[in-house]
Structure 1
Amino acid sequence: MTESQPTESPETAAPPDGDHSGEGLDATDTPHNVRELSNVPSVEVISRAAVMLMSAAAEKLGLAEEDPDDSPVRDLDEARRLITSLAGLITASVEYLGPHAGALRDGLQTLQRAFREASSEPDPPGQGPGEKYTGPVH
């Protein structure tokens, strides 16, 4: 779902002196690499939000580290919140996601399982993060 974005043209790039005043742009102009939100399809907005939640949850689970147990950023409370939010978003949006739904659900279940494995006292089935929206994940 990656869409290439044009790079900044010399007219819209920040000046070398660090002045970001927007010289050369009036109130109706936007840099070439910025898309109007009204032109972005809803499935893309939802998918990007889901990917951001997934990435943040993975970080909070320590999955970016070689040994997640030793991750200095591991925070299971924060991971629980992110996974639950992701589950709510995917569950509420599944009918609009089309072919993206399966991959997003798989990613969610992977995070839910990783959370269960990381917990010193795993939640009972159906009470883990997001499971009130997805059902129990084993």
Structure 2
Amino acid sequence: MDTDVNVREMVDVPSVEVISRAAVMLMSSAAEKLGLADDEPEHSATRDLDEARRLITALAGLVTASVEYLGAHAGPIRDGLQSLQRAFRETSAVPDPPGQGPGEKYTGPVH
């Protein structure tokens, strides 16, 4: 049964890797929703700031809750999160007040 194979494989994966993979998936999806994968992000067909806000907030919650377990992975993941938060702020036609942008209730204001 395929489910048994997947479960057995996940048992062997360290938690830091599972958390890091989830963070990378959230980052990638948020970047897509910000249109950052396109040459002209402001005209991207995939741009959806509401979806990007949700993904960035989920990422911020994950990072905040798991930072003590991430070790050497914490810095790059936090940097990626802050880059997405800044990109969101720059992209938004009506910027959120400091501390109220996506994920900022977990990370503090990002300028």
**Structure 1, unaligned stretches of length 5 or more?**
1-25
Alignment pair present for 1:102 and 2:75: yes
Q: Distance in 1 between matches of 2:40 and 2:24?
A: 23
Residue in 2 that maps onto 1:52: 25
Question: Over residues 70-99 of structure 1, what are the superposed CA-to-partner deviations in whole Å (9 max), with x where a residue is unaligned?
Answer: 000100000000000000000000000000
Q: How does 1:17-96 map to 2 (within 5 A)?
A: 30=5, 36-96=9-69
1:75 to 1:36, Cα distance in 2 relative to 1, 3 A: same
Q: Going by fraction, where is helix more abundant, 1 or 2?
A: 2
- SS of the equivalent of 1:63 reads coil
Between the two proteins, the alignment pairs up a number of residues equal to 111
1:126 to 1:41, Cα distance in 2 relative to 1, 3 A: same
**Structure 2, unaligned stretches of length 5 or more?**
none
What TM-score results when the alignment is normalised by the length of structure 1?
0.76
Q: 1:111 aligns with which of 80, 84, 101?
A: 84
- Deviation above 2 Å: which 4+ runs of structure 1? 26-31
Once superposed, what is the RMSD of the aligned Cα atoms? 1.9
